[in-house]
Amino acid sequence: MGIELLGGRILAPFFGSSVHIWGSIITVFMLSLSLGYLLGGKLSTRSPSLKIYGFIFIIAAITILPIALFSQWLMEAIFISIEDARFGSLVASIALFFIPTVILGMLSPYSVRLLVKRSNESGQIAGKLYFISTLGSALGTIITSFYLILLFDINVIIYSFSGLLASLGVLAIFIHKARLQYKAELSHV
Amino acid sequence: MCKLIAVLLLLLSLPVSYVQAKVIHNERSLYRNILVEDEGDLRCLKFNVKSTKTQQSCYSKSQPQQLVFNYTKLMMASLLFNVEPKRILIIGLGGGTMSNTLAQLYPQSQIDNVEIDPAVIKVARDYFGFHENDNIKTFTQDGRIFIKRALLKNQRYDWIILDAFNGDYIPEHLLTKEFLQEAKALLSDNGILSSNTFSQSKLYAHESATYKAVFGDFYQVSNRVNANRIIITSKNGFTDNPIDPKKHNELAEKLADYGVNIKFIYRSMVYTKKVQNWSDNARILTDQFSPANLLNTHE
């Protein structure tokens, strides 16, 4: 949500601040999240592990970097080739936000898979996850729009989000390794 | 007790002033509420019911050529620097009064009006006598996109009037260094850009620093009543004595017909090279950093 909110500011210099900007951004985010949920669910059926989970975080961290690195020339190229600002903003939203949002969307169903141990508790765990992720989205939105944009450049905020995602990914992989080691030690004893 | 009665009387008398102003048109557009009010001889366009800051445009029904609004008069001070603009770009239409006045002053000039909200254009045509012809065109577009496209087409303007701000909301992408550079590139050799702005509190310094970074020193005229100021910048910067006294007199005569006392306005103009009323270390607004609306309310 933090990125979605920045999206409007990133696109405005080339595609204006008309309502269609938000139409484009929200459409692309919803579309890519829905695809991400589907893919994440599918991926969770094949030997799910905290390691893969960590890698998804790291890939997400990498794929949001182009928003900061290449958005200028990308939007310029789209601005020149597409005259209609509505479709221009739609294409630019897809180019910038589609891939990272699909990957971020994969995290939710994958989390459910990792946390659910027994099927009778699946509803409760899914509920808690929805609670945490939606609450996180709300906080991300308000912190970004009320404070972060008042203090930092857009790119600095994007790099920080990327850094945060990457650290979470590394943490997940680290926990995975630690657990493996622990299990190995147990079996030796 | 006396105080209480006084307050009650005051409260009772308030609605009376509203009764006098008759709302003759009210619509909710994609972007805002649009109200057209008649109050005696005066017809006004408002973008918000409660706030008095957002009175966009007023005109006198019996003397439509008289400029009623203080800031439109102040805007005319730009003409001191570029007396015969051939190509004029107006970003933000309002009631179209600026376009109408300039069309009368310079019937041969080409005027392009850019307005994001189609409903505002319609209201200007239906209620404010907004006049269009082969020389006066209107484009429904975001101002920044219009300027970017005009640059691609290699167009140039002698005078760009930026009037897209109001007291309630500032389009933040029209306040950045990058935007002002684009607008500057669209000016002809001795072109002038004038902005009607509403910066208060912290935004004032940021906005001033941004204009100075792009254009160098500029002239400004403020209206303390509703915190708006006109910023007048020049593509090539200003010389020390940019105003020719003879032209000044000619212009004063011409503008008197429109209710504009240009000599009076000239005396209240401030050149930032001589008087700078903001701190030099104010951070410049860019596409990366432009929290204009937050800064404008942040005390």
pLDDT by position in tens, chain B (length 299): 555 565 555 555 544 444 467 888 988 888 888 889 888 888 888 887 655 555 667 888 888 777 877 778 889 999 998 778 999 999 999 889 899 999 999 999 999 999 999 999 999 999 999 999 999 999 999 999 999 999 999 999 999 999 988 767 788 899 999 999 999 999 999 899 999 988 777 889 999 999 999 999 999 998 766 667 899 999 998 887 788 888 888 889 989 988 888 888 888 899 999 999 888 889 999 999 988 888 887 44
| DSSP tag of B93 | -
Q: Give the pLDDT of residue B16.
A: 45
- Integer-rounded Cα radius of gyration of chain A: 19
CA dist B282 → B211, B293, B295 (Å): 12, 16, 12
Complete DSSP assignment for B24-89: EEEEE-SS-EEEEEEETTEEEEES-SS-GGGEEEEEESSSTTSB-SHHHHHHGGGGGT-S--SEEE
| Interface A-B: count of C-beta contacts within 8 A | 57
Give the class (CATH, top level) of B70-297. alpha beta
Q: Give the pLDDT of residue A189.
A: 63
- Contact state of B142 with A155 under an 8 Å Cβ cutoff: no
**B171 at interface of A, judged by CB pairs closer than 8 A:** yes
Structure-block tokens of residue B222: 């403020």
What lies within 8 Å, CB to CB, of A159 at 6+ separation is: A65, A68
Q: How many domains does chain A have?
A: 1
Q: What span, in angstroms and rounded, lies between the C-alpha atoms of A92 and B167?
A: 31
Residue B41 among the catalytic residues: no
Quick: pLDDT tens for A115-149: 998 989 999 999 999 999 899 889 988 999 889 99
- Contact state of B145 with A153 under an 8 Å Cβ cutoff: no
- As averages over each run of 10 residues, the pLDDT of chain A (189 residues) reads 81 84 93 96 93 96 95 93 91 95 94 91 91 90 89 93 95 93 83
Strands B187-197 and B110-115 come out as unpaired
- Contact state of A19 with B31 under an 8 Å Cβ cutoff: yes
CA dist B268 → A173, B217, B252, B265 (Å): 67, 17, 15, 5
Domain extents in chain B: 70-297
Q: What residue in B sits closest to A14 (Cα-Cα)?
A: B145
Q: Residue A183 belongs to what domain range?
A: 2-188
Q: What span, in angstroms and rounded, lies between the C-alpha atoms of A10 and A31?
A: 19
Shortest distance, CA A20 to any CA of chain B (angstroms): 10
Q: Give the pLDDT of residue A114.
A: 93
Best mutation target, B206, B284, B288, to test chain A (most A CBs within 10 A): B288
Q: What span, in angstroms and rounded, lies between the C-alpha atoms of B182 and A157?
A: 25
- Contact state of A14 with B148 under an 8 Å Cβ cutoff: yes
Q: What span, in angstroms and rounded, lies between the C-alpha atoms of A12 and B112?
A: 22
For residue A76, which residues of chain B lie inside 8 Å, CB to CB? Answer: none
- Contact state of A149 with B286 under an 8 Å Cβ cutoff: no
**How many residues can be counted in chain B?**
299
Q: Give the pLDDT of residue B53.
A: 53
